[in-house]
Amino acid sequence: MSPTPARNRPIGRVALVVKNSTAAANAAADLENHLRQKGLDVVVDEPQVDETCPPDRSRVHPLPSEVDLVVVLGGDGTLLYAARTFGRQGIPLLGVNLGGLGFLTETSLENLYPMLEKVLAGDFVTESRMMLAAEVHRNGRPVTHHHVLNDVVINKGALARILTFSVKVDDTNLTWYRADGLILSTPTGSTAYNLAAGGPIVYPTHESIALTPICPFTLSNRPLILPQTAVIEIGLEPGATDALLTSDGQVSCPLLPEDRVVIRRAEHSIVLIKNPYKNYFDILRTKLGWG
Amino acid sequence: MSPTPARNRPIGRVALVVKNSTAAANAAADLENHLRQKGLDVVVDEPQVDETCPPDRSRVHPLPSEVDLVVVLGGDGTLLYAARTFGRQGIPLLGVNLGGLGFLTETSLENLYPMLEKVLAGDFVTESRMMLAAEVHRNGRPVTHHHVLNDVVINKGALARILTFSVKVDDTNLTWYRADGLILSTPTGSTAYNLAAGGPIVYPTHESIALTPICPFTLSNRPLILPQTAVIEIGLEPGATDALLTSDGQVSCPLLPEDRVVIRRAEHSIVLIKNPYKNYFDILRTKLGWG
Amino acid sequence: MSPTPARNRPIGRVALVVKNSTAAANAAADLENHLRQKGLDVVVDEPQVDETCPPDRSRVHPLPSEVDLVVVLGGDGTLLYAARTFGRQGIPLLGVNLGGLGFLTETSLENLYPMLEKVLAGDFVTESRMMLAAEVHRNGRPVTHHHVLNDVVINKGALARILTFSVKVDDTNLTWYRADGLILSTPTGSTAYNLAAGGPIVYPTHESIALTPICPFTLSNRPLILPQTAVIEIGLEPGATDALLTSDGQVSCPLLPEDRVVIRRAEHSIVLIKNPYKNYFDILRTKLGWG
Amino acid sequence: MSPTPARNRPIGRVALVVKNSTAAANAAADLENHLRQKGLDVVVDEPQVDETCPPDRSRVHPLPSEVDLVVVLGGDGTLLYAARTFGRQGIPLLGVNLGGLGFLTETSLENLYPMLEKVLAGDFVTESRMMLAAEVHRNGRPVTHHHVLNDVVINKGALARILTFSVKVDDTNLTWYRADGLILSTPTGSTAYNLAAGGPIVYPTHESIALTPICPFTLSNRPLILPQTAVIEIGLEPGATDALLTSDGQVSCPLLPEDRVVIRRAEHSIVLIKNPYKNYFDILRTKLGWG
């Protein structure tokens, strides 16, 4: 369970992903100055509240492969956005929280500059975190494609009381569920919605997919941990209306009754820069109020 | 825990509440003939799918106090509708299921006629079940009023990921919740949505109000059993959008950010005619697959 | 849910129940001096670690009805002992915690003396809390009798993996359980072992009996809230060995295979002196780490 | 998730592990005749109820490496015994249930002979299942060593109410628990005690270790899925008495206060012969009563 030493590529261009708040904007301005004074190139991005569905591929991000580091200033929510948007390129992400410790934003603002020194000097370790890819199939062809770091949720909309859907794993029938919804979670996402819905904590680098029904009608429909290689196909019952696909709790797309959602491990993992002074269990104890 | 002997009023007029299905319509036609041949007056009602919100008081039901018996042909869902619509007048309800045993529709179609003989002869026992009344207060005045036999749910709509709301009990702060929603359940409703959300089974005549958060963010926010006298006031956080009030899983009304929902025991209970051959524990074992 | 004003009997004799710890002994010595200087009669009791099973009725407590107040110095565990031992006589109990807030020991050491002034002046409110009585029947006759404020637990001993037992409520079969054990809890005990085993929080004055199986084999064997009038009879399967009856987590008695355990509301409730500055929800939020 | 084709070694000698019941003994007698008529060598073993603690290595099993197949006649409990006793040698196990379908004994008695034809002809597939190894360290040296297919449980004995223990994973502090006990489960064991205690179902070939506390005092102490490589070290609090180590729910050893228990993936996996007509999800749906 030891982290991976990072690739040893010199850092020339840094992207800042900044939460939409005054505190984050101020911290970003300081950081931008600091980095420019060091002769680094800086680009700034702010998460878009109104992400379109399906994701608008034409939205231009000035972040091609020449970005060498992404610094996230915000909370876990901002990092989820950054991971979905830039995480696929293998660029290391450094998560900085502006308030309390996050599961993903392990570095506090006061430790940012000492930490950054080390990162710029190449003295850091990273950890790979698997992502999930979700595809909606409509009339026989994929209509949208999402990557998530935490979870994909199929849930009922405002008016539905309960959803009925069938699940196949690797082309084998698992079962059908009657529930408020279904969460497919990465290990990273296991401490988010999955935990609130009764799922277990999964060690973040232990690759697997947690399938957790939300308020299932059948009480023995317990959370299920599947191999990371599993291909999960979810079908809504014919005539089902008012279902949604939600990615990382941030982007929701309406589903049509005949849609099929296929979820599998994404091809690429994100690369998180680790705080050398915090291990996962420290974070768990703090965030969950243990002992 | 013994049932109440019924009032001994002769039965002259019977209302049939009939599920919208061919099987139910056929059973209702037979039953209507049968009752008319016995010289009884019969009125037939079919649940309206598109119940308005707030409930439309002008919708005329030909069911004033002169109805002496309500026979429900359908399932628990149909009986919930009947209880909300006619239950307040103290008229005994006889629930007949057309398929599997229901928690509320204890009598099977094949036992309907023998059972009916007894009921018409005044030879039956009944059980009172408390209901809840929910009022939405907007700009200082009540804008809608619901009665439910199972539960009142405040939940998030399609787009919200999580709701934040504060709860007061008898004017004392309980806590604030971050959750998908909150269920306020009668004992009767305890085996419905409450159970799926992690709440306990409450013996149906043990009057109390179960307050069960749905997927709460704080893991120690466990279900809470309150006295039946409790007055529960729920406030949404300022700026909250996309919340709904749902009654018995059948009628949903949008809530506005500043709304306050007040929930208490309804003044009137419904009166269920008991199947003398089934006690509550029999039903529990069958429905939950015990033993 | 407002507390009961206490009986207005002048306090002449005070019993101190003192946890077996240096801090408690010191606090007790100070308190004893203080009370004697006020001209009050004081008796001191220390919980016996090795309570016998069945309880030894011959153990002499110098606490007949002429004791007017019991002050408990310790934690909730000490108060449970005091409630079992002296609570049946309707004498008000004042619970003083020596460390963190307790569910039952609401008064801190630093508030003890101001609180005591009020209590001695008759200026206090009390709250009744129901207790449970458990009787073990062996060969047709009762062999032991326990009163508890929190819970009665039937559980497996060291060697058994799982117990099988049948439960009747008011002479009606409920079901049989395969589980590690079964908890019968008062509302007061609902936040103790019951909560750890998945049971709900029950408002402390809402009289009822929670029946919560411990790690049941059948996943739908969920906690059940019964009326306070319920008489619960538990039978072990023939041949069952290695089962125990545990009272308030403090006294354990071995059960024999043919034993039947009968549990019902005790005739007498205990009388707790309330801290006027803390309501139940304050305590709940603090103890469970809410909000 | 496709099963592994078995090694293609001709079968000359078969061991029968037979549950201690008349039905199993009868089935074994028939099977023994059948196999001998085919010219195969047969040895018969019956699980020992009184397994010693620590396991008695001197107990002679006539089952050296020349046994080519183990047929288990009984239920999952008998197969657990067979796996602990013979599973380490890589000999394929065929589990035959004498009553209902088992998670491990997938073949019914009526399908035994057709199935056996195929197995003897080398026409079968197998599945590897990881086991756990548990070592008790006392005064600095290992005193006992257990292999399990389902789970290792550290739990409280008859008299203790709650245990306090610390857990390290790979030499890093995880946390300390106050609980009735702790379950360390393989994927195979995830549907056994782990599930009753609130743990998730883990796909049986997805190697991992589930750490599930039993009735933890801290409600956020949720089940944790660890990598199969994790080395888990459990220490009891100084002075703790009355704790036990239980292997597969079948063998219990008392622990002393200063003992440390080290649990890790066992070196060897067992080899199960798969019923070609049943996949894992079929078994799950049947055993848990889904849909």
Q: Say if the Cβ atoms of A288 and B219 lie within 8 Å.
A: yes
* Distance, CA of B130 to CA of B110 (rounded, Å): 29
C61 neighbors C89 (Cβ within 8 angstroms): no
Whether B215 and A214 lie within 8 Å, measured CB to CB: yes
- If you average pLDDT over every residue of chain B, what do you get? 89
User: Which residues of chain C make contact with B220, given a CB cutoff of 8 A?
Assistant: 288-290
C217 and chain B: CB distance < 8 Å anywhere? no
Q: Which of D128, D195, D202, D211 to mutate to test the interface with A (most CBs of A within 10 A)?
A: D202
- B190 or D7, which is more confident? B190
The catalytic position among A45, A68, A76, A180 is A76
D1 touching chain C per CB within 8 A: no
A238: closest CA among A257, A261, A262, A259? A257
Chain C, residues 43-102, CB within 8 A of chain D, namely none
Reported as type and span, the H/E element at residue B69 is: strand B69-74
Per-residue confidence at A62, pLDDT binned at 50, 70, 90?
Answer: very low
D281 and A173 within 8 Å at the Cβ level: the answer is yes
Selecting from B175, B281, B291 the residue whose C-beta is nearest the C-beta of C291 gives: B175
Interface of A with C in 220-249 (CB under 8 A): 220, 222
- Of the candidate ranges A64-73, B51-60, B205-214, the one whose mean pLDDT is the lowest: B51-60
Whether residue D161 lies within 8 A of chain C, CB to CB, comes out as yes
Residue D103 touches chain C, beta carbons under 8 Å: no
DSSP string, chain A: -PPEEPP-PPP-EEEEEE-SSHHHHHHHHHHHHHHHHTT-EEEEE---TT--SS--TTS--S--TT--EEEEEE-HHHHHHHHHHHGGGT-EEEEEESSS--SS--EEGGGHHHHHHHHHTT--EEEEE--EEEEEEETTEEEEEEEESSEEEEEE-SS-S-EEEEEEETTEEEEEEEESEEEEE-TGGGGTHHHHTTPPEE-TTS-EEEEEEES-SSTT---EEEETT--EEEEEPTT--SEEEEETTTEEEEE-TT-EEEEEE-S--EEEEPPTT--HHHHHHHHHT--
Cβ contact, residue pair A195, B219, below 8 Å: yes
Candidates C178, C201, C274: best to mutate against B (most CBs of B within 10 A) is C201
CB contact under 8 A, A180 and B179: no
Bridge partners of D224?
Answer: A201, D211
Q: Is B171 on the interface with C (CB under 8 A)?
A: no
Q: Is the pLDDT of residue B129 over 90?
A: yes
pLDDT at C57: 46
Cβ of B289 within 8 Å of Cβ of C220? The answer is yes
- CB of A204 less than 8 A from some CB of B: no
Of A147-151, A236-240, B135-139, D174-178, the poorest mean pLDDT is in A236-240
The encoded tokens of residue D239 equal 């002075």
Q: Is B216–A196 a contact, with Cβ atoms under 8 angstroms apart?
A: yes
pLDDT value of position C65:
55
Q: Which residues on chain A are in Cβ contact (under 8 Å) with C219?
A: 219-220, 222
Are the beta carbons of A220 and C220 separated by less than 8 Å? Answer: yes
Q: What is the DSSP letter of B158?
A: S
The string over D30-69, giving b where at least 16 C-beta atoms fall within 10 Å of a residue's C-beta and e elsewhere, is ebbeebeeeebebebbbbeeebebebeeeeeeebeeebbb
Q: Which value, in Å, is the radius of gyration of the alpha carbons in chain D?
A: 20
- pLDDT for B140 equals 87
Q: Is B291 on the interface with D (CB under 8 A)?
A: no
Q: How far is D233 from chain C (nearest CA, A)?
A: 22
Whole-angstrom distance, CA of residue C102 vs CA of residue C96 = 9
**CB–CB of D206 and A227 under 8 A?**
yes
> Minimal Cα distance from C283: which residue of B?
B174
Is residue B198 within 8 Å of A222, Cβ to Cβ? no
Nearest to B252 among A159, A219, A252 (CB): A159
Query: Domains in chain D, start-ordered, CATH in brackets?
Result: 4-124+274-288 (3.40.50.10330), 131-267 (2.60.200.30)
Give me D67's structure tokens.
Answer: 């046994």
Average pLDDT, integer, range B280-287: 96
- Which residue of chain C is at minimal alpha-carbon distance from A218? C220
Contact criterion met (CB < 8 Å) for B158 and A158: yes
Whether residue B8 lies within 8 A of chain D, CB to CB, comes out as no
Cα–chain-centroid distance for residue A290? 24
pLDDT on residue B239: 74
Distance from CA of B158 to the nearest CA of A (A): 4
Structure tokens that stand for B133 in this block: 């009344």
B219 to chain A, minimum CA–CA distance in Å? 7
D198 chain-C contacts, CB cut-off 8 A = 198
Beta-carbon contacts below 8 Å between C and D: 51
Residues from chain D that touch A203, judged by Cβ atoms under 8 A, are 224-227, 230
* pLDDT score recorded for residue C52: 60
Check CB contact under 8 Å for D200 and A218: no
pLDDT of residue B136: 95
pLDDT value at residue A84: 85
Identify the active-site residue in B76, B151, B248, B259: B76
Q: Is B252's CB within 8 Å of A216's CB? A: no
**In three state form, how does the secondary structure of A4-41 look?**
EECCCCCCCEEEEEECCCHHHHHHHHHHHHHHHHCCCE
Determine whether the interchain pair A220/C219 forms a contact, defined as Cβ–Cβ distance below 8 Å.
yes
Q: With an 8 Å Cβ cutoff, is C219 touching chain A?
A: yes
> Which residue numbers of C are catalytic?
76
- Chain B residues within an 8 Å CB radius of C226: 203, 206
How far apart are alpha carbons A205 and D227 in whole angstroms? 8
**Paired tokens of A231:** 């291909």
The pLDDT value given to residue D123: 92
pLDDT band (50, 70, 90) for residue B50: very low
Average pLDDT over every residue of A6-27: 86
Please identify every stretch of chain D with a pLDDT value under 50, giving residue numbers as ranges: 50, 57-60, 62
User: Which residue of chain A comes nearest to C221, CA vs CA?
Assistant: A219
User: By C-alpha distance, which of D45, D242, B1 is closest to C157?
Assistant: D242
Helix/strand/coil for D251? strand
Contact B284 C227 (CB under 8 A): no
Of A190, A227, A289, the CB nearest to D203: A227
Which chain D residues are closer than 8 Å to A204 by Cβ? none
Q: Among this protein's residues, is A41 annotated catalytic? A: no
Helix (H) or strand (E) holding D76: helix D76-86
Give me the pLDDT at residue B15, please: 92
pLDDT digits (tens, 9 = 90+) for D27-80: 999 999 999 999 999 999 877 654 566 655 444 454 555 789 999 999 999 999
Q: Quick check: B107 and B275 in contact, CB under 8 A?
A: yes
Q: pLDDT category, A241, cuts 50, 70, 90?
A: confident
CA distance A66 to chain D (A): 35
pLDDT of residue A183: 98
CB < 8 Å to B222, chain D? 219
State the smallest CA–CA distance between residue C222 and chain A in angstroms: 9
Note down pLDDT in tens along chain C; length 291 residues: 555 555 557 899 999 999 989 999 999 999 999 999 999 999 998 776 545 666 554 444 545 557 899 999 999 999 999 998 877 778 899 999 998 899 999 999 999 999 999 999 999 999 999 999 999 999 889 988 888 999 999 998 766 678 999 999 999 999 999 999 999 999 999 999 999 999 999 999 999 999 999 999 999 999 999 999 999 999 998 777 789 999 999 888 899 988 999 999 999 999 999 988 889 999 999 999 997
CB within 8 Å: A218 and D170: no
| Tokens of residue B197, six digits | 């959300």
The pLDDT value recorded for residue A284 is 97
